[in-house]
Amino acid sequence: MNEPLKKSQQHNLNIENQLLGAEIESNYDSETADEPSMSAKQVIEYQNGKKMSEEDIRLGGSPPLKTIVILSIGPLISQITGAMYGIINTVWISKAIGDNGLTAISTYNNFDTIGRAFAFFLQVASSAKISSLFGAGLKNEASQVFSDLLRLTIVCGIISPGVFLPITKLAARWFGASEDIVSLGYEFIFPNMMSTIVPCVYLLCCGCLQAEGRSWLFSIVQVSSLVSNMVIFAPFFLFACKSGIAGVAYSTICAELIPGVILTVLFYMGKFSIKPHPSDLLKKFSVHTWPAVKIGFSQLLYQLSLALPGLLIRKFFGVACGDDRTMWNDIMAGFNTFCRFWTLIMAVPTAMTIGFVPAGSFAFAAQRNYRFIRLLLHSSWIAITWTLFSMIFTVGIPRIICLAFSSTEGYLEWGEVIVRRATLCAFALPVSIIVTAVLQSQQKGNLATVLSFLTQLCPIPLFSTILFFTAKHDVARLMYCYPLSNVFSCLISLPFLYFAIRKLLKFSKEDKDAEQELQNIATKAKEEAKLAKDSENKKHQSDDEKEINLDDIKDDENQKGDSSSSPSSNSSSSKDADKKNKNKKNGHSNELPDGDEIPAEI
């Protein structure tokens, strides 16, 4: 009789969750100045006895700067390690295969980026949406979203190789690569793209860890994967197994497959805040999954924009070089060096956005306006400062940077020119990336996609085409397309930023005092949790001591039992001695001449 009632209640609860989830995207439209802010309401709720969850404390319980640092330090370590992996991996390739290996990797590197773009799409989708669900009080919905995105990894694993792998060789020839470079590079890209599902699962799990605020665990997983790749798997496949350039792909697959499988199993075992069940894989998709996909789609477009314009740049290189294969190889090797160091320059801005998205999504869903603005400010100044600092080195000493990979004169000549000119105005690039992250954290996936298209996909093809057709054989001049693109993207992003935060600025002043009170409540909750944990540890310690005392008491009792039984043994031995003496008196001895005894009965 109660079963239909339970189903009806569950149905009503699902409807309420759907309505609340939809309300997140427009939660500022109905807000008025006469009503207390959401931050003030939350203070009242917590003062009336509501408990802060672990996610509330991790994502919204510390000051904004501290939160950004904590949530970004893990991604920063992994980004720097990843950039160093690219550099060290380039050194391995140079030593194992030579400059042709660097040229082959550079020729096909954009297709590798395309394959991984789908993985980053899932990472951002999970990180932004699930942390937003935590902020809106819809924690139980996160499990189904995780399972839905896990099913999408299969789709991504089919699309990437199915669409792009057949055109890789054609594109390499279109760039102007020689047949030996085309064949060598294909040995690298084939296993990479065929295993696209591996980084998809791996980065999806990493995004969920970030959504829960587990920045250090995120860092440990990523750093362990990268270090094992460049220290164990890459040397093993390149030098021990002599697998050629394909060993680079094999090492990456192994380094990401192991942690990806382990994390997926741990999620379904209920070891984290997100607790999916295997049966979720057979259920219909959650109403929150499509908004997550829209958020992630902007990241997919951004990642593709890192790859697709590069295809056009490589074509222009080929046309500019004509039939001079030596010049083309030197230019491509120098361009590969720029790509590797560009990853290092972008490490901090990328880490800031990875840390900002879950914290910003949580703050926006909870309508903590002042906190959102402060998170944005801290993310921006840290990212811009780092890129400005990095630009000083790449513009000032590019030749020394290039010497880390090779000392060939032709390579050094072009590497110096490309690295110096392409990194000009690098300080302007973080603006567009951070504004995109702001839109993602506000669940404005469509706007984020439009901004990614305008700032990431369009500028480089536009400026490179203009520069190429005004001077077709001037490769050095062509590299100015990158600084022009950075400045253009920055200017385009500013109007999007204004419309994204104008309402938040209006209400942020009202939230300042409430935000401080929420942080005090979170600090108190942390202290209470720590005290509870300490008391629990002391309780376990006292229980262990009691068990030890009981064991000691039992040992004492056993010793007393042994001592009480010893008099009887002494009396029996004295009786045996008396018996022997009596036998001796009667002339019967139980001893043989050599001292051996015989039974008394004989």
Please check the confidence at residue 34 and state whether its pLDDT lies above 70. Answer: no
Please check the confidence at residue 103 and state whether its pLDDT lies above 90. Answer: no
Question: pLDDT tens digits, residue range 131-173?
Answer: 888 877 788 889 999 999 999 999 999 998 999 899 999 988 8
- For position 250, what pLDDT does the model report? 93
Q: What is the dihedral of CA 168, 173, 177, 179, to 10 degrees?
A: 90
Average pLDDT of span 423-427 = 90
Assess if residue 25 is contained within a domain.
Answer: no
- For position 564, what pLDDT does the model report? 53
Highest-confidence range of 83-92, 93-102, 123-132, 305-314, by mean pLDDT?
Answer: 123-132
Please check the confidence at residue 388 and state whether its pLDDT lies above 50. Answer: yes
Q: For residues 438 and 350, give the distance between their C-alpha atoms in angstroms, rounded to a whole number.
A: 13
- For position 113, what pLDDT does the model report? 82
Assess if residue 512 is contained within a domain.
Answer: yes
Q: For residues 383 and 350, give the distance between their C-alpha atoms in angstroms, rounded to a whole number.
A: 8
Provide, rounded to the nearest whole percent, the portion of the chain with pLDDT above 90.
Answer: 25
Least confidently predicted of 12-16, 125-129, 303-307, 456-460: 12-16
Question: pLDDT tens digits, residue range 172-213?
Answer: 888 778 889 899 999 999 999 999 999 999 999 999 998 888
When divided into structural domains, the chain yields a total of 1
Highest-confidence range of 479-488, 531-540, 591-600, by mean pLDDT?
Answer: 479-488
> Which amino acid type is present at position 50?
K
Average pLDDT of span 241-253 = 90
The whole domain housing 330 covers 54-526
- For position 267, what pLDDT does the model report? 95
Assess if residue 576 is contained within a domain.
Answer: no
Give residue 289's pLDDT band: very low, low, confident or very high (50, 70, 90).
Answer: very high
Give residue 561's pLDDT band: very low, low, confident or very high (50, 70, 90).
Answer: low
Average pLDDT of span 51-73 = 76
Nearest to 387 by CA among 418, 341, 440: 341
Question: pLDDT tens digits, residue range 572-590?
Answer: 455 454 544 544 444 444 4
Q: What angle do CA 503, 507, 511 make, to 5 degrees?
A: 145
Nearest to 277 by CA among 269, 288, 287, 285: 269
Assess if residue 42 is contained within a domain.
Answer: no
Highest-confidence range of 265-279, 541-555, 588-602, by mean pLDDT?
Answer: 265-279
Nearest to 177 by CA among 245, 248, 108, 114: 108
Please check the confidence at residue 539 and state whether its pLDDT lies above 80. Answer: no
Please check the confidence at residue 3 and state whether its pLDDT lies above 70. Answer: no
- For position 510, what pLDDT does the model report? 65
- For position 233, what pLDDT does the model report? 93
Is residue 136 a contact partner of residue 332, using CB atoms and an 8 Å limit?
A: no
pTM: 0.66
Please check the confidence at residue 4 and state whether its pLDDT lies above 50. Answer: no
Give residue 76's pLDDT band: very low, low, confident or very high (50, 70, 90).
Answer: confident
Assess if residue 598 is contained within a domain.
Answer: no
Q: For residues 199 and 82, give the distance between their C-alpha atoms in angstroms, rounded to a whole number.
A: 14
Assess if residue 119 is contained within a domain.
Answer: yes
Please check the confidence at residue 371 and state whether its pLDDT lies above 60. Answer: yes
Assess if residue 600 is contained within a domain.
Answer: no
Please check the confidence at residue 408 and state whether its pLDDT lies above 90. Answer: no
Interaxial angle between packed helices 38-47 and 481-585, expressed in degrees from 0 to 180 and rounded to the nearest 10 = 10
Assess if residue 454 is contained within a domain.
Answer: yes
Length of the chain as a residue count:
602
Give residue 122's pLDDT band: very low, low, confident or very high (50, 70, 90).
Answer: very high
Number of H helices, E strands in the chain: 23, 0
